[in-house]
Amino acid sequence: MNRDMGDGSGIRVGVAGATGYAGQEVVRLLARHPAAALTVAMASSASSPGRPLPALGRLWDGAVAPLDVDRLAGEAEAVFLALPEEASAHLAPVLLDRGVRVFDLSGAFRLRDDARRARWYPHTPAVPPATAYGLTERYRAAIAAARLVACPGCYPTAAALALGPLVDAGLVEGDIVIDAKSGVSGAGKTPTERTHFSECHGSVSAYGVFAHRHGAEIEQELDRPVTFVPHLVPLDRGILETIYVRLAPGTSAERLAAVYEAAYRDAPFVRLRDGALPTIKQVAWTNFCDIGWKLDEPTGRVVVVSAIDNLLKGAAGQAVQNFNVACGLDERTGLL
Amino acid sequence: MNRDMGDGSGIRVGVAGATGYAGQEVVRLLARHPAAALTVAMASSASSPGRPLPALGRLWDGAVAPLDVDRLAGEAEAVFLALPEEASAHLAPVLLDRGVRVFDLSGAFRLRDDARRARWYPHTPAVPPATAYGLTERYRAAIAAARLVACPGCYPTAAALALGPLVDAGLVEGDIVIDAKSGVSGAGKTPTERTHFSECHGSVSAYGVFAHRHGAEIEQELDRPVTFVPHLVPLDRGILETIYVRLAPGTSAERLAAVYEAAYRDAPFVRLRDGALPTIKQVAWTNFCDIGWKLDEPTGRVVVVSAIDNLLKGAAGQAVQNFNVACGLDERTGLL
Amino acid sequence: MNRDMGDGSGIRVGVAGATGYAGQEVVRLLARHPAAALTVAMASSASSPGRPLPALGRLWDGAVAPLDVDRLAGEAEAVFLALPEEASAHLAPVLLDRGVRVFDLSGAFRLRDDARRARWYPHTPAVPPATAYGLTERYRAAIAAARLVACPGCYPTAAALALGPLVDAGLVEGDIVIDAKSGVSGAGKTPTERTHFSECHGSVSAYGVFAHRHGAEIEQELDRPVTFVPHLVPLDRGILETIYVRLAPGTSAERLAAVYEAAYRDAPFVRLRDGALPTIKQVAWTNFCDIGWKLDEPTGRVVVVSAIDNLLKGAAGQAVQNFNVACGLDERTGLL
Amino acid sequence: MNRDMGDGSGIRVGVAGATGYAGQEVVRLLARHPAAALTVAMASSASSPGRPLPALGRLWDGAVAPLDVDRLAGEAEAVFLALPEEASAHLAPVLLDRGVRVFDLSGAFRLRDDARRARWYPHTPAVPPATAYGLTERYRAAIAAARLVACPGCYPTAAALALGPLVDAGLVEGDIVIDAKSGVSGAGKTPTERTHFSECHGSVSAYGVFAHRHGAEIEQELDRPVTFVPHLVPLDRGILETIYVRLAPGTSAERLAAVYEAAYRDAPFVRLRDGALPTIKQVAWTNFCDIGWKLDEPTGRVVVVSAIDNLLKGAAGQAVQNFNVACGLDERTGLL
């Protein structure tokens, strides 16, 4: 698929799961994307009634239709799935068979190892061959060639962008600790006791200790064990991860900075903040991943801080970034 | 009932509906009340399993039992009902028949007029004769004599304490507008879309315009129509009401202040802030109602601001204050 | 000034006061505006050191220069002033004399009546003749012809868009009450006790009762007295105003809706929500003003709710909207 | 000093620094303390004018006087210092010389090692001999005998209560990582850019990496290096610390639980939550420290979560708890 495959008004794209938080962001981004024509947005089930999205009024005034795979395949060359993983696991292969390119925001196709996937995503028997892991900055070539892009989880995006270059350079020794703080929109749109306002406001809570599937995704990407603990913090959008590692003895601050600069020289959405540390406020409502660090040279202990907007770089924004790469467009199209 | 009716360790009290936000506050207050012995705390239904209240650990280490009216009547001389109004409407008469004194936090028995009550609280066919409206500062004598105390709603408490003295003094002319801002705990503990963290955070919303039963309760207390609009604001505990009225021509600032001072000279939980305006922070986690005002003498327009903690003065605290009055105790017992 | 006055890359624009909250939003909007070329961004004083804006990295990577009126006039055809009103009062006439078109976000030139202005904006001796009040939806023709556009205050924008059509149609009778709830960014970037996190969090406070200059601005626009009380609510961006009026006897709900629809048929940034009520969340980070209402037909009482993002429609967004109108561009350019 | 040293109404106590957040909490606690008589509350400087504390109206209606050491020593047997450490470093020795018992909330006297103290608290040349480190649960005997109690910092309280028993039992191997999340009241009452509402709301930020004096305090208490990174989270009161360690090979979950149970069997303000994890909401507005943990037995990795209210157990509450111990009172007096 490339740009001139579309009709005059752009590549025809569709969204399934358009009423959730990530799905609405996909719709918002595609509605103003200069190279895409949003032809259809659907709910996450066939029985859902059609409805407008009032918050997107004037940005996109269509109605969200019930889920209908035939119509989806008929009206779109590329489809974004913002669905529960079980639904994605079922729907993606059908769309691929119909020649549609798929950008999946769920976890269904992220884990390549069968045993790992059986544990965390049991509804996905197999990963199709032309699947890329959609961490854009690390897999551009594979994404460009893929038919199915498994967009990373929000926590793994922030973690792998911060740790990937250090691991690749062989600098990391010993244990890796990832302490993640996430806004509540990451828990989705369905009301629960955990996400009830009065429970979250004025509170911080850890969850999923030693039992969060994003931990497995991070371990796959880094190819080593990590201790990963996510926390809910009382804000809506954004993730900040504080990462604790030891570097190989003698690693200098200059070397550390050089590794990051080399890794992200051509990455328009990674902003390195050597000497300062990122905050969530600086990345909220953007597709940036900001990375900063402090090294204690005598001991080799380093603290890396990585921040993203969980709904953009951690979900919808990265999916569109991958779409841009897949279509041969400038990676930034529709995202600044 | 008076103090020496209790055994050595205090008047035996029970709570029904102990797991909700208001119910937990009642338990917390009674557990440390020097003249009460909390003998039993029950859930809001008979099918609810027994469970502890971890947040109250070391303050009250009992288990919340399933609802059981026989046991409740057997173990308590006074019972606090923190139940949905339908349950209160059913349970209160049974307890009264068994000789138990009842402090009801629901709306079931607040409206005296049958037509009004039929509209807003249809599950309450009649209000028992020995019922008092539990706005402590205005009905101490009736509360002392009552068998059933219908504790006021949170919004009416703040509104009637602010407006009652002005209306009683014949100072109010024309329309009354009450713009109320409430923390989300006022909406209760059941997760809903309205109270989902990501919907409330960073937002303010009006609701129940011309259709909130607390409007009827305020109108009963003031004996005139009001325009009452409640709003959800992104905080947990507290209500601030901004009240707009015109005073009779020629009313001076001195006269206005004198009316308030006369009304609340002996009210330990009303703090008048002439010249300053209350904020929610100053009353949160207390049983105080703070009242301040600004008068524009040339026009007679006055803005009154009234603030309470919705779970304390607006619910559990006022219920215990009424219990104190009913038992002949110092009104402040267990509340400072 | 029109589009072809610019060089190939767009109309040359500058910003003074680029480090404040509104100023940063102007920079952010202009940096991606397809018809504008941001040539210079300056601080609010000549002694301020040059500095980058890290939060805008990759969006605008220039440095904020010290304030320098000669350079500003030399490098820009149009200048946005996001300065304290005293600085704007001084700077705007100088820029106008140099042939620069000025979009002023301060209050310096909003009040036309000398006595009123002497009270609220004493640093502004006179309003230049070719000045328009920049409430876009109501003054497009004047804005298109003006050399100086006095962009409205945030509170008056939400109030006048909600009330203007009703007043113009002769529907409003009696008192007008405007109860406004604002996010804290409206108070600016300078730390104060009022805007200290621990004072605002978990609290709501009224301020400026009978003494806020935005009240005078609203009264000028509606040509009648209003009671206006602003409140700080614990969120960052957004204003919600709840407006209480009585309509002329017999006004039907259909008539009311028709008046709004006629007024805003061609207004791309006003979204009418008949039957629903706006929330801040729906407008935050957008240039929309959402308006909804509830009418109690028997009494004629109506509650109108109006919501904007104070930094966009209430400041930077509306300034750019006015710039678009002034330049003959589509009003929405760079704002969706 | 013991109970009968006081007059009929209790031990005479005073507070210096009564207007800050921690100081106000001390006043609030002492005003209702059944065994203490609050005789004097002073500001943090001699030039500060006298003033009331409106938020404490009806709880304590005295006026805060300018700082006056003679008066303080004359009117109080025990003094709580809620002052900047420089002021405490100067004032405490003077009060001790006058025979007053001192409970210092600052860091001035926490670090025993001269070199460490010279780096972090340079205004304290020496620590008086009868000084105890006021981590109540670990030093009751020393506190009972001390003339000066150096109350711990908020972060060290949560960290040392969680880690102390593990270190004492010889269970900890390798690096210790402490990731702390604090409400903004911990940064004090003086407005700064860091604590400006619009900067904190919707954000999380790390600070003081490898450079926070509470890190030195934790290292003193545990007698080994730690990596400690504090974060500001958008809430007012409370700290949650997530602590990452490895246990000695073969340590079972039963052994881990037994160590904690043995350590805190008689500690009324430590609540162990084996199997669950604490949240800030559960401890806010209380003097409890809640501790929970998860052990991954195969690897020995353990995550311990510790939560306190930074103004109570982390400051004023623990100071009063120490006062109770020092006076031979039940540790819980005035704190439940």
pLDDT over 70 (residue A1) = no
Size of interface A-D (CB pairs under 8 A): 132
Please check whether residue A257 lies inside any domain of the structure: yes
Please name the residue ranges forming H helices in chain A: 21-31, 69-75, 85-97, 114-120, 140-145, 154-168, 197-200, 213-222, 253-264, 280-283, 317-326
Threshold 0.90, pTM exceeds:
yes
Percentage, residues of chain C above pLDDT 70: 97
> Residue C191 has what DSSP assignment?
-
Is the minimum CB–CB distance between D28 and chain B shorter than 8 Å?
A: no
**C-alpha separations of A326 from A14, A109, A145, B259 in Å:** 15, 17, 7, 74
Return the minimum-mean-pLDDT range out of B4-18, B72-86, B155-169, C182-196: B4-18
Residue B275 confidence (pLDDT): 74
Please give the structure tokens belonging to residue C107: 């209050």
The DSSP secondary-structure symbol of D313 reads I
**Torsion sign over Cα D14, D18, D21, D24:** positive
Task: Examine the domain organization and report whether D261 and D318 are in the same domain.
Answer: no
Res A6 pLDDT > 70: no
Q: Touching check for D201 and chain C: CB below 8 Å?
A: yes
pLDDT at C7: 43
Q: By the CB < 8 Å criterion, does A255 face chain C?
A: no
Q: Is the pLDDT confidence value at A4 over 80? A: no
For residue C111, which amino acid is it?
Answer: L
Active site residues of B: 154
Is C210 part of the contact surface with chain B (CB cutoff 8 Å)? Answer: yes
**Contact state of C235 with B177 under an 8 Å Cβ cutoff:** no
Average pLDDT rounded to a whole number, residues B174-200: 96
The Cα of A56 is separated from the nearest Cα of chain C by a number of Å equal to: 8
Whether C274 contacts chain B with CB within 8 A: no
Same domain, yes or no: C277 and C234: yes
- The pLDDT of residue B5: 38
When scoring B196, B233, B309 by the number of chain A Cβ atoms within 10 A, the one with the most, hence best to mutate, is B196
Q: Cα–Cα distance between B291 and D12 in angstroms, integer?
A: 34
* A205 and A289 belong to one structural domain: yes
Phi first, then psi: give them for residue C235, nearest 5 degrees.
-150, 170
B46 pLDDT exceeds 80? yes
Same domain, D159 and D148: no
Is C21's CB within 8 Å of D192's CB?
no
Cβ contact, residue pair D277, A206, below 8 Å: yes
Catalytic residue chosen out of the listed positions A154, A200, A289, A327: A154
Q: C145 lies in which domain range?
A: 3-151+314-326
- The C-alpha angle with vertex C308 and arms to C303 and C310, in degrees rounded to 5, equals 130
D302 and D187 share one domain:
yes
**Pairing label, strands D227-232, D172-182:** parallel
Mean pLDDT of B188-210: 96
Domain-located, residue A335 = no
Cβ distance of B198 and A191 shorter than 8 Å: no
Going through B109-165 in order, the beta strands assigned E by DSSP cover 131-133, 148-150
User: Which pLDDT does position D233 carry in this prediction?
Assistant: 98
Contacts of C242 in chain B (CB under 8 A): 179, 206, 229, 231
**Closest residue by Cα to residue D102 from D111, D118, D113, D91:** D91
Residue of A202, A242, A281 lying closest to D179 (CB–CB): A242
In three-state secondary structure terms, C60 is coil
Tell me which chains share at least 3 CB pairs under 8 Å with chain B.
A, C, D
Beta strand segments in C74-155, E: 78-81, 101-104, 131-133, 148-150
Provide the token pair at D258.
């037994």
Is the domain of A135 the same as that of A254? no
CB-closest option in D177, D234, D303 to A234: D234
CA within 13 Å, CB half, C214:
24
The low-confidence residues of chain C, meaning pLDDT below 50, are 1-8
ipTM (interface predicted TM): 0.96
pLDDT higher than threshold 70 for residue B3: no
Count of other CB atoms within 10 angstroms of residue B113: 11
Tens digit of each residue's pLDDT, chain D (336 residues): 444 333 447 999 999 999 999 999 999 999 999 999 999 999 999 998 888 998 899 999 999 999 999 999 999 999 999 999 999 999 999 999 999 999 999 999 999 999 999 999 999 999 999 999 999 999 999 999 999 999 999 999 999 999 999 999 999 999 999 999 999 999 999 999 999 999 999 999 999 999 999 999 999 999 999 999 999 999 999 999 999 999 999 999 999 999 999 999 999 999 999 778 999 999 999 999 999 999 999 999 999 999 999 999 999 999 999 999 999 999 999 999
Rounded Cα distance between C28 and C316, Å, is 9
Over residues A258-284, mean pLDDT: 95
How many structural domains does chain D have?
Answer: 2
Model pLDDT, residue C3: 41
A336 and C285 in contact by Cβ < 8 A? no
pLDDT band for B45, please (50, 70, 90 cuts).
very high
Do residue B236 and residue A189 have CB atoms under 8 angstroms apart?
no
Q: Fill in the amino acid letter for B182.
A: S
Looking at residue C6, its pLDDT comes to: 39
Does A144 fall in a domain? yes
Is C283 within a domain? yes
- Please state the separation of Cα B334 from the chain's center in Å: 17
Does D90 contact A at CB distance below 8 Å?
no
pLDDT at C70: 97
Give the CATH number for residue D96: 3.40.50.720
Question: What distance lies between CA C160 and its chain's CA centroid?
Answer: 11
User: B322 and B292 share a domain?
Assistant: no
Contact A44, A16 (CB under 8 A): yes
User: Which chain D residues touch A175 with a CB distance below 8 Å?
Assistant: 174-175, 244, 246, 301
Residue D148 shares a structural domain with residue D166 = no
Tell me the DSSP string of A238-293. -EEEEEEEEEPTT--HHHHHHHHHHHHTT-TTEEE-TTS--BHHHHTTSS-EEEEE
A chain contacts of residue C273, beta-carbon cutoff 8 Å: 54
The pLDDT value given to residue D27: 98
Q: Kindly determine whether residue A336 and residue C58, on different chains, have CB atoms separated by under 8 Å.
A: yes
Mean pLDDT of A81-96: 97
Asked if residue B106 and residue B77 are part of one domain, the reply reads yes
Q: Which residues of A touch B183 (CB under 8 A)?
A: 198
State whether D121 and D93 are in the same domain: yes
Please report whether residue A332 resides in a domain: no
pLDDT, tens only, A23-55: 999 999 999 999 999 999 999 999 988 889 988
Nearest CA in chain C to A202: C202
Summarize the confidence of residues A52-65 as an average pLDDT.
92
B332 in a structural domain: no
The answer as to whether A110 is a domain residue is yes
Domain check: are A284 and A321 in the same one? no
Pair (D123, D168) in one structural domain: no
Alpha-carbon distance of C112 to C134, in angstroms, equals 13
**Cβ atoms A154, A186 nearer than 8 A:** yes
Give pLDDT, residue B2: 42
CATH number at residue B244: 3.30.360.10
Pairwise CA distance, residues B160 & B216, whole Å: 12
A74 found inside a domain: yes
Q: How many contacts does A have with C, using Cβ atoms within 8 A? A: 30
CB contact set of A114 (below 8 Å; sequence gap of 6+):
none
Angle at alpha carbon of residue D161, lines to D160 and D164, rounded to 5°? 60
B258 touches chain D (CB under 8 A): no
For residue B200, which of C238, C1, D233 has the smallest C-alpha distance? C238
Say if residues B43 and B65 touch (Cβ distance below 8 Å): yes
